[in-house]
Chain A
C-alpha cells in the first residue's frame, strides 16, 4: 500500500470524526443505566426499545411533520423565486449592477444580525407560529440565486434566442429551455435549501409559541430540558433525528459539495 503513513494519519482522523456517532448509537441501544461508570465501549444487551419509547412518548411524528412541511415550503419557494430572480439578472435592464451590488452586500448580513426586527416584522405580518412564518426568511437565498445565474449564463445564447424567436414567453423560456439544462444547479439548490431549513433552530425557537408547531430541533431541545432520565431515550431521539439528514446527505453528496464551493473555484 502506498503512503502507509498518510493512510495511518487519515484513519486516526476518521476515527476521531466518527467517534461521536458511534458513542451516541451505542448509548441509544444499550440497556445499562447510561450513567454507570465505567461506561462500556461496546453496548451491553443491545435493544431497540428506546426508539419505541421515543416514538410513543414524545410527539416525534408531529415534530417530523412540521419539519417536513416547512422544509418542503422552503425548497419549493427557493426553487421558484431563485430561478426567476436569477433569470431576470441575466437580462439587461436599468440598474442591474445596482441590484447585483445590493444582493452582494446582503450576503454580508448574517441572519443573527436581524433576529429582533425579523421577529417584530413577522409579528406585524401576523405570521408568528405558522408554517409560512417559519419558512419566510429562508424562502430565497442569495447564494442560490448566483448559482442559478451562473448556470443560466452558461446556456448557449443561440438556444435562448431561438426560443424567443419562436415566440416563447419569458416564463416558458425558463421552464422549457433553461431549467432542464441546469440540473446541477437545481439539485444544489434543493439540497442546500433543504439542509438549511431542516437544521434551522434559532428562528423556530423565536417564532413558535405552541408545542404543536415545533420542528425537530426544537423538539430535541425541549426534550433535553425536561427529561433527565437514565435511559438512552434522548440519544435514541438524536439518532432518529440525524438519520434522515445523514441519508439525504449521503445520497446528495456531490450536489451539496458542488453547491457549497461554487464560488471557491471561480474565485
Chain B
C-alpha cells in the first residue's frame, strides 16, 4: 500500500488541494465590495463626496461606477468585477484626491482601503 507515497501521487494531490483551497477562498470573498473613506486636507471625513471607480487593463482605464460617501465619509462599491482598479474622490470646493491604483489578487476581491482618499492632493 505504498503506491500513494510516490511523488506522482503526492504532488498532484497537493496541487489539487491547493487549487481547491484557493478556489474556496475566492468563492467566499468575491462579492466585489470595495470600501473606504474620504477625508479632506485636514483629516476630517467628507460626507457627500463623489468617488469614481475605474477598471484598469494594460492600456486603458475605464470608468465603471460612481458612488457617494455617507455621513461619516465612508463609501462602498458592490459588484466590482475587475482585478485592477483605480479610485479617485472629488468634492465640490475641496478638490480632488490622487488617483490611486488598487491591484487585487483576483477579480472581485472584497477589499477595504488601508488609507483614506485625501482630497485636495491632486492638482
Contact = CB atoms under 8 A, between A and B. Distances in A.
A227 B58 contact: yes
Name the prevailing secondary structure of the B interface residues. Answer: loop
A229 interface: yes
A233 B103 CA distance: 13
Contact of A49 (B7, B8, B57, B84): B84
B27 interface: no
Nearest to A229: B58
Interface residues of B, number: 12
B113 interface: no
Interface string B93-114: 0000000000111110000000
A215 to B, nearest CB: 21
Interface residues of A, number: 12
Contact of A48 (B7, B84, B105): B105
Looking at A48, A52, A227, A233, the one whose CB has the most chain B CB atoms below 10 A away is A52
B104 A52 contact: yes
B17 interface: no
B83 interface: yes
B6 to A, nearest CB: 10
A237 B30 CA distance: 24
B11 interface: yes
A47 interface: yes
B35 to A, nearest CB: 20
A247 interface: yes
A53 B84 contact: yes
Nearest to B82: A56
A229 B58 CA distance: 8
A41 interface: no
23 contacts: A47-B103, A48-B105, A49-B84, A49-B103, A49-B104, A49-B105, A52-B83, A52-B84, A52-B103, A52-B104, A52-B105, A52-B106, A53-B58, A53-B83, A53-B84, A56-B83, A56-B107, A57-B57, A57-B58, A227-B58, A233-B58, A251-B7, A251-B11
Interface of B: 7-8, 11, 57-58, 83-84, 103-107
